[in-house]
Each structure stands twice: as structure tokens, then as C-alpha cells.
Structure 1
Amino acid sequence: MLKRVSALLFGLAFAAFAHAEGDTFEAGKNWFAVEPAQPTSTGDKIEVVEVFSYACPACNFFQPTMAKLKAALPANAELVYLPAAFRPDEDWPTFQRGFYAAQALGILDKAHEATFDAVWKDDGTLHIADPTTHRPVSPMPSIDDVAKFYAKFGVKAEDVVGVANSFAVNTKMKRADAQLKAYGVDSTPTLIVNGKYRLTAQSAGGVDKVIPLVKFLVAKESAGK
């Protein structure tokens, strides 16, 4: 009986939320079904994935929205990052490798926002473009450069390089590339909700619509459970 009551209350709550915030969101316009739906990595929690690259200027611009989204997610949802590598001309594979090395070494929480700053702020150390001319730098940052930057977070640069070139990280990179294809992602930043729904700021109708749309889809999944 209690389970039935809980399910009914969740359904009513979702209906109210949908009426308040989601009645203008349309499947096939604001969000797209991932077919087939993909497995998640967050257990009982609803997974919200950000597909991004540190070397993506739009992703850098999107970071304040991501910070607000992370704070706005309900307790039954969890944010996960998925680094993309489909722009080798902009050094994305190097930063994907660095992400997984930082994750493996336990410094990702400290290094995540700082890496964006290192790439995009004028005094950053991992520029992919000249701050004045905006032309690509040559050579692009290497994994050794990323490792030297990560050393400020309490790890040795040589350890970062070793982990970055390990079998485990190579496997994670291949898995990430396959996951992006399965999601149907062709641009960044892109968000995936619970392995089922894909959206971008453009599809949502603007950056200011992203958080309401993600919360709508999280509520939709919560009601389904």
C-alpha cells in the first residue's frame, strides 16, 4: 500500500512540475530520445551526463550554467562528466586523456574548473589559441604539459603521465568514444539524462532553459521509477 501511495504522490508531483515548467518542452524539438537507451553508472540515482571538452570554447562558456545545474539537481540525481575527443585539431584527445588521469589520481574535483581556466584565461598555461590573435598555438599542449599543470594539485607530474598512458586510461578513452556514438552526440556541450534523453542549450531554447529542461526530464524519470 505504501509503495502505491508513494508512486501516486510521485506521479502527482511530476504532473504538477510538468505543468509548471515542462509543458512547453517537446520531444524531438527540445530534447531527443537516445535509441536504444544506454546503461548508466550511478546506481539508483538518475544520471545527468555532461559531454564536454576543456578545449571547447562553448563548454567553457557553459561552465557557470553547469555549476548552477549541479546545485539545482535533486538528491536522487547525480552529475557525471564525459570528455569528448572528436576534435583532434583542437587537442581534445589530450585533454580527454588528462581528465581520466586526474580522475584516477583523485584530483578531478580540484582540477576540473582549474583546467578550463588554464586553457581559456589570459594567464592560463594550457592555451590552445593565442589570447591576442586567437590563432591556434603550435605545438598544442601535450600530456606532459597537462601533467605539469596537475602537479599543483598534490601529485607528481611523472605519475600523471604514467597513469595517462596506462591501459586503464586507454580503455576508458575508447569506451568514452563509443559512448558518444551511442548517445548520438555530435557537438559539445551536450547533456544526457539517464541514458535516455539528449539535449543542448540550442535545443532547449537557450542557456536559461537548460536547467528547467533537465529538471523536467529528471522528474519524468523519477515518476517512471
Structure 2
Amino acid sequence: MLKQWIKTFVVTASLLAATGAHAFTEGKDYKPLAQPQPIAVAGKQEVIEFFWYGCPHCFAIEPSVEAWEAKLPANVNFRRVHVMWDGRNDMEGHAKIFLALEAMGLTKKHQMAVFKAIQQDRIELRKEDVLFDWVKKQGIDVNKFKANYNGFSTKNQLNKLSELTKTYAVDGVPMFIVNGKWVTSPSMVGREDDTITKVINELLAKNKAPTAAKAKK
């Protein structure tokens, strides 16, 4: 009987490894969002990534996130949100970069470049003269970038980032919210690789047709 049990266990383990199957655990690898939130686009599933350009952990998983994003089906809406914690003035400059790129539709294209400049090349992009010179070198229209970076609505947009940070009770980054119901993060799964995207995919599979509600922007 013992030999048969061992054989069955080995075969099952081999199949799981071969198929890439995972069994992630609620309370360990993910948890319910304390206050469920509405999704932004009716009829679509949603994943929100809260991040900070100054966060080395966000930088570490960015390649996995970008590879995952490139394969997303049309019914999944992926949103990036730059975190804004009260009392953290060191985040505002980075958040304004995100807002400017977002307004220009360039976030996805330049997300990794911003991370590398800050985390790898140690360029202080919170200094405007340094930032605008770097932006020009990236082939981005500097005048349009400046207009969005210092735009009239920038303060309101920063306030919205702060509100979202509070609404989703973000206490660390990177953090992912799936369908306004689930929270997961690399710190929860204990790895900074594509494991986090596998957890997200499993959570998406739990709720393939979420009920949409009016979005909080």
C-alpha cells in the first residue's frame, strides 16, 4: 500500500510540474480585499498594479509583468497606478513622471526605461533639468511632456493617486488588485519572478465574468 501511495504521489507531482499547474493558497499567496471595489470597464476583468519608480522590488518584477501584459487577452484591463502615500514627498516627482507619460499614452513603452534610469543608472529624475534632458534623449516630445508634467490638472491627478492608494489600502509595493476582490504581491508569494503573474492568472480564472460597476477614477 505504501509503495502504491508513493508511486501515485510521484506521478501526480510529475504531472503538475509538466503542466505548470499551481495551487496557490488564500491567506498566503493572496487574500480578499478588505473593501471590494468596482472595476473600471464594464464586461472586462481588471488587474491593477500599484507601484513606485523608486521601489527596487517593483523594478525586479517589471520584466515578468511586461511579458505577462503582452499576452493578456482583450477581456482583461490592466492598469498601473503610481502609489502616493501621505507624508512621502519623495514620491511626488516620480508620480508626476508617471502622470505625464500616462497622459501621452507612453507609459507602457517607457515604463522599463524609467525604472532603469532610476534604479540602475541612478539618475535623479526628480530634478527637472535632469528629467527633461533624459526625456529628450528618449525621443519623447519634451514640450508636450513638460505641459503634462506641470499641467494645471497635475495636482488633482496626484490627489487621485493618493485617494486610490488609500481606497485600496496599499501598505507596500508592488501590490496587485484582481477584479476589485483579491490582493496579491511578491512579498506574499515570497518570490520576485513570474510567480506573481501565475497567481494573478489563477485569480482571474476564479472570476471570469465579474460584475462591473461604476469605476472610481
TM-score, structure 1 normalization: 0.73
2: CA distance, partners of 1:203 / 1:195 = 18
CA separation of 1:71 and 1:111: change in aligned 2, threshold 3 A:
closer
SS, match of residue 114 in structure 2: helix
Residue 44 in 1 paired to residue 11 in 2? Answer: no
1:43 maps to amino acid:
A
The structure 2 residue matched to 1:212, chosen from 170, 175, 198, is 198
For 2:130, the equivalent position in structure 1 comes to: 145
1: CA distance, partners of 2:112 / 2:70 = 15
SS, match of residue 145 in structure 2: helix
Query: Within 5 A, what are the aligned runs for 1:183-222?
Result: 183-206=168-191, 207-222=193-208
Task: Quote the offset at 1:142 in angstroms.
Answer: 2.2
Task: Quote the offset at 1:95 in angstroms.
Answer: 0.9
Residue deviations 1:127-180 (CA, integer Å, cap 9, x gap): 4xxxxxxxxxxxx73244323322333312x44233222232222221111111
Task: Quote the offset at 1:89 in angstroms.
Answer: 6.2
Answer whether contact 2:85 2:165 (CA < 8 A) is retained.
no
Task: Quote the offset at 1:196 in angstroms.
Answer: 1.4
SS, match of residue 222 in structure 1: coil
Residue deviations 1:40-67 (CA, integer Å, cap 9, x gap): 2233221111111111111111111112
2: CA distance, partners of 1:31 / 1:71 = 23
Residue 114 in 1 paired to residue 100 in 2? Answer: no
1: CA distance, partners of 2:71 / 2:187 = 20
Residue 178 in 1 paired to residue 160 in 2? Answer: no
CA separation of 1:73 and 1:107: change in aligned 2, threshold 3 A:
closer
1: CA distance, partners of 2:48 / 2:210 = 19
CA separation of 1:74 and 1:21: change in aligned 2, threshold 3 A:
farther
Greater RCO, 1 or 2 (C-alpha within 8 Å, sep 6+): 2
Unpaired stretches in structure 1, ≥5 consecutive residues: 1-19, 128-139
Answer whether contact 2:84 2:165 (CA < 8 A) is retained.
no
The structure 1 residue matched to 2:151, chosen from 162, 166, 182, is 166
Structure with higher helix content: 1
Percent of aligned pairs with the same amino acid: 26
Task: Quote the offset at 1:192 in angstroms.
Answer: 0.8
For 1:6, the equivalent position in structure 2 comes to: none
Answer whether contact 1:50 1:82 (CA < 8 A) is retained.
yes
SS, match of residue 198 in structure 1: strand
Answer whether contact 1:49 1:80 (CA < 8 A) is retained.
yes
Answer whether contact 1:192 1:199 (CA < 8 A) is retained.
yes
SS, match of residue 210 in structure 1: helix
CA separation of 1:48 and 1:76: change in aligned 2, threshold 3 A:
same
Higher mean displacement: 89-98 or 178-187:
89-98
Unpaired stretches in structure 2, ≥5 consecutive residues: 1-19, 212-217
Task: Quote the offset at 1:220 in angstroms.
Answer: 1.1
